[in-house]
């Protein structure tokens, strides 16, 4: 069960960063420019590397294929929905990156655009995580054998090394702690 537990823990980290993003979007709307642009850059890197390449990579490359093999429908079932939502998430991150570039270039309305895409991303990902935690993961825990779950766990470690590397993983967790204390306490 370690494989699924690891994904749940990553969801907790993602939810925390979404709360930080909400605060940053709020302040941006009020002020037009970010208090600290590095924080926005850090978050955007986290959403691209940790969330999309690493976490969604583990789900798309390993968990979903294992579920399909166990008989869970892809196209008209929960896996298809999850894949579509990952895709929508990518689009939101791209829009946030574009809006952030426009904010830095001093183009009016960009902060409002950023905040809109940020809120789309927050609500998309929060409900996506709910579905995975409450529907898809319990399904995986019921339907996948101990051996498959152990293989997944090894595969997850491999993806993590390939996509972010051990040192960077630690750095992301430090970054989350720092942002949490700056914005949520
Ligand atoms: Fe997902
Ligand atoms: Fe997930």
Residues lining ligand 1 (ion), CB within 5 A?
59, 82
Helix H or strand E segment including 38: helix 37-45
Q: How far is the centre of ligand 1, averaged over its atoms, from the C-alpha of 114 (Å)? A: 23
In 3D, which of 11, 45, 22 has the Cα closest to residue 117?
A: 22
| Degrees, nearest 5: CA angle 165-166-171 | 100
Domain boundaries, the chain: 2-183
pLDDT classification of 157: cutoffs 50, 70, 90: very high
The ligand whose atoms approach the alpha carbon of 137 most closely is 2
Q: Tell whether the model's pLDDT for residue 1 goes beyond 80.
A: no
Q: Give the E-state strand segments of 16-140 in sequence order.
A: none
- Superfamily of chain region 2-183: nmb1532 protein domain like (1.20.120.520)
Q: Could you tell me which residue, 29 or 76, shows the higher pLDDT?
A: 29
Pick from 6-20, 35-49, 161-175: least confident: 161-175
| Mean local confidence (pLDDT), 23-32 | 94
Report, as an integer, the average pLDDT of 29-42.
93
pLDDT tens, residue by residue, 94-113: 999 999 999 999 999 999 99
Q: Find the Cα–Cα–Cα–Cα dihedral 57, 61, 64, 66, rounded to 10°.
A: -140
pLDDT of residue 75: 82
* Cα–Cα distance, 105 to 108 (Å, whole number): 9
Quote the pLDDT of residue 130. 98
Question: How far apart are alpha carbons 52 and 48 in whole angstroms?
Answer: 5
Q: Tell me the residues surrounding ligand 2 (ion) with CB < 5 Å.
A: 132
Tell whether pTM > 0.75.
yes
Output the CA 102–ligand 1 centroid distance in Å.
Answer: 29
Ligand 2 centroid to residue 32 C-alpha, Å: 32
Give the tens place of pLDDT for each residue, 108-144: 999 999 999 999 999 999 999 999 999 999 999 999 9
**For the residues of 109-165, what is the DSSP string, one character each?**
THHHHHHHHHHHHHHHHHHHHHHIIIIIHHHHHHHS-HHHHHHHHHHHHHHHHHHT-
If you average pLDDT over every residue of the chain, what do you get? 95
The reported pLDDT for the residue numbered 93 is: 98
């Amino acid at each position: 069960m370690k494989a699924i537990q690891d994904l749940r823990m990553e969801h907790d980290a993602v939810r925390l960063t979404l709360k930080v993003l909400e605060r940053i979007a709020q302040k941006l709307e009020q002020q037009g420019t970010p208090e600290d642009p590095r924080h926005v850059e850090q978050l955007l890197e986290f959403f691209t590397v940790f969330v999309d390449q690493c976490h969604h990579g583990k789900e798309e490359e390993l968990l979903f294929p294992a579920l399909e093999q166990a008989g869970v429908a892809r196209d008209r079932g929960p896996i298809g929905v999850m894949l579509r939502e990952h895709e929508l998430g990518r689009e939101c991150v791209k829009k946030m990156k574009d809006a952030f570039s426009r904010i830095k270039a001093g183009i009016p309305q960009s902060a409002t655009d950023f905040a809109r895409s940020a809120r789309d991303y927050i609500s998309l990902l929060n409900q996506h995580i709910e579905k995975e935690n409450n529907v898809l993961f319990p399904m995986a825990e019921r339907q996948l054998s101990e051996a498959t779950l152990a293989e997944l766990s090894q595969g997850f470690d491999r993806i993590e090394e390939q996509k972010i590397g051990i040192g960077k993983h630690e750095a992301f967790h430090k970054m989350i702690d720092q942002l949490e204390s700056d914005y949520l306490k």
